[in-house]
Chain A
Amino acid sequence: MTPVLEARNITKSYGHVRALQGVDFDVMPGEIVAIIGDNGAGKSTLIKCLSGAETPDSGEILVDGERVQFTGPDSSRQYGIETVYQTLAVSPSLDIASNLFLGRERRKKGILGTVFRMLDSKGMREDASRQLNELGILTVQNMKQPVDTLSGGQRQGVAVARAAAFGSKLAILDEPTAALGVKESGKVLDLIRQIRDRGMAVVLISHNMPQVFEVADRIHIQRLGRRATVVTPQTHSANDAVAIMTGAVQV
């Protein structure tokens, strides 16, 4: 089987900091791959290279086996790849619907849209509302409510919903449960399973070992800017994984 997304020998430096030093990565269709690793191991940098938010210094990225060149955060979207960044990348003062459609707003049909550039705000609100309800993220919500007035978990929900709504192939989620309590984390985790059940592959960065071992099919262990190894919940325990992650065990 061909991986939906594959990276070969990616390097990326920020000045003197060598964040990625030749990383390989792959995720198969319909698979949930977790990325774990210490702070600074290069997890976020890796997924930014995979989504086009950063340009690697060297290395190859392949989508469905074809080499691609991402030129910006929006270019991976054309391939059905959606990313929820660690910083969420929502616009707090815009409302829920505007955030869902941010950067890909839909215009009204006819002259209003083509000449007067008028947005189809109503249509987008209805779609956003239906999306969120069907994903079960927000119950009776006012789509005109600014995201700033939502709780951390609700915002997380909006960001994940955006990825679920627009992605067709792959959702990349960078620590989507980091700021959340146990209950809210559980909800986001349910959401990840729902996305997978729709047929999308998922890349999940998380520090929460029980969570990772619960949902992931494979676990990519990132250490000091490299891929230490890839394990599965069947072959390795959480303790094994942490030992590899911290360098207590060499592989």
Chain B
Amino acid sequence: MKVPAKLEGTATIEPTTNLASRVRNVLYAYPVIGPVVVMLVATLVFSLLSDRFLSPDNLSLVTQQVMVIGIVGIGQTLIILTAGIDLSVGYIAVFVSIVMANIAVSAGTPGIVALLLALVVGTACGLLNGALVVGLRLPPFIVTLGTMSIFLALSLYISGGAAIRGADMPDLLTWTGSAFQLGNTRVAYGVVVMVVLVVLVSYALQRTAWGRHVYAVGDDIVAARLSGIRTRRVLLSVYAVAGLLYAVGAWALIGRAGAASPQAAATLNLDSISAVVIGGTSLFGGRGLVVGTLLGALIVGIFRNGLALIGVQVLWQEFAVGALIIAAVALDQWIRKGSR
């Protein structure tokens, strides 16, 4: 940028000073404040109500329960940041897990080959969604509603409706479900994979031009195009990366479930969207963080686990998750409206 000679500062536009709008501005700029507060409060309350809640075994369980949602939720976050939504995530993960298991078991290839091929297949599934969204200009909701059924059908076709047991697979494919000792807690390797991916994708979103462009596309795609951003390329790349992440999620799914089964992930679609929304990412696109989704997944996990520990019926766990989603969306609306 060229820097001009000092000019007379006549055209000064004053900054906002109003206190109420400043609070909103802070919430706007830091979307994880909400989820952090909810998680801390929930942790505090459940630890007071149940002494088992903070026990090493229980924490280990909660993290293992959220690792699959956490990993695929990163991909879902990317898509929601572009003002899209992915309803096919669960069945892409299931499809890829079955493909991975089949390559390894039926064809007898080494685990690493099966895993790498599965990552390619996942990326291709994401690219298919992206190509339909970008090429045919169809709404992501419709595209992924369609591909959801397609991937479910393909999963049933390839598997013949039967599960492949983890015990029959190469160790690498179930590695995500095995754990190591950290202090007095057992941590699954899949949880480590999740954390590493959160860090990597956060870096890409916050520290690279690609990340800025993802936000800009979700914010206002016309403005992004007029600013010289290749919006179609950005969208395609987002769906492809999401597909890759779903494939890693499929790997974690095999480890978690101890099998590759067409029935494994019926709730993964809605759970991943819940995690993204509760994590403070706006369904309208352009605002949110991947680490928020990790928090959102943990919050859902903590509520389910905590309520179960204190003996509350399962139906109230669902009730609590529903209330959290509505509260999160309401907060987002308030922040957005207030800032305009």
Contact surface of A with B, Cβ cutoff 8 Å:
53, 72-74, 77, 83, 85, 87-95, 98, 102-105, 107, 116-119, 121, 127, 130-131, 133-142, 144-146, 148-151, 153-154, 157, 165-166, 168, 184, 186-188, 190-191, 194, 197-198
Q: How many A-B residue pairs have CB under 8 A?
A: 149
User: Could you tell me the distance in whole angstroms from the C-beta of B167 to the nearest C-beta in chain A?
Assistant: 40
Residue contact B228 to A72, C-beta cutoff 8 Å: yes
Q: How far is the CA of A217 from the CA of B8 in the complex (A)?
A: 22
- Which of A88, A103, A190, A191 has the most B CB atoms < 10 Å from its CB? A103
A-chain residues with CB within 8 Å of residue B210 when the two chains form the complex: 117
Given A141-B15, A146-B29, A149-B21, 16 further pairs, Cβ under 8 A: A77-B228, A89-B223, A91-B215, A91-B286, A92-B219, A92-B220, A94-B215, A95-B29, A107-B209, A117-B209, A119-B207, A134-B7, A136-B7, A136-B9, A146-B339, A149-B25
Known pairs A74-B228, A134-B6; A117 contacts B208 (CB<8 A): yes
Residue from B6, B8, B12, B212 in contact with A94 in the complex, judged by beta carbons closer than 8 Å: B212
Residue from A118, A138, A149 in contact with B207 in the complex, judged by beta carbons closer than 8 Å: A118
A-chain residues with CB within 8 Å of residue B2 when the two chains form the complex: 165, 168
Contact string against A for B residues 213-237, beta-carbon threshold 8 Å, 1 for contact and 0 otherwise: 1011011101111111100000000
B-chain residues with CB within 8 Å of residue A107 when the two chains form the complex: 209
A-chain residues with CB within 8 Å of residue B229 when the two chains form the complex: 102-103
Contact string against A for B residues 1-43, beta-carbon threshold 8 Å, 1 for contact and 0 otherwise: 1111011111111111000010011001100000000000000
User: Could you tell me the distance in whole angstroms from the C-beta of A97 to the nearest C-beta in chain B?
Assistant: 10
Look across to chain A and name the residue whose beta carbon is closest to the beta carbon of B209.
Answer: A105
Q: Does B137 contact A (CB under 8 A)?
A: no
Q: Does B256 contact A (CB under 8 A)?
A: no
A-chain residues with CB within 8 Å of residue B226 when the two chains form the complex: 53, 73, 83, 85, 87, 89
Residue contact B13 to A157, C-beta cutoff 8 Å: yes
Look across to chain B and name the residue whose beta carbon is closest to the beta carbon of A105.
Answer: B209
Contact string against A for B residues 74-117, beta-carbon threshold 8 Å, 1 for contact and 0 otherwise: 00000000000000000000000000000000000000000000
- Which of B4, B29, B207 has the most A CB atoms < 10 Å from its CB? B4
Look across to chain B and name the residue whose beta carbon is closest to the beta carbon of A189.
Answer: B11
B-chain residues with CB within 8 Å of residue A139 when the two chains form the complex: 12, 14-15
Known pairs A102-B216, A136-B9, A151-B13; A73 contacts B1 (CB<8 A): no
Residue contact B208 to A118, C-beta cutoff 8 Å: yes
User: Could you tell me the distance in whole angstroms from the C-beta of A198 to the nearest C-beta in chain B?
Assistant: 6
B-chain residues with CB within 8 Å of residue A118 when the two chains form the complex: 207-208
Residue contact B222 to A190, C-beta cutoff 8 Å: no
Residue contact A90 to B12, C-beta cutoff 8 Å: no
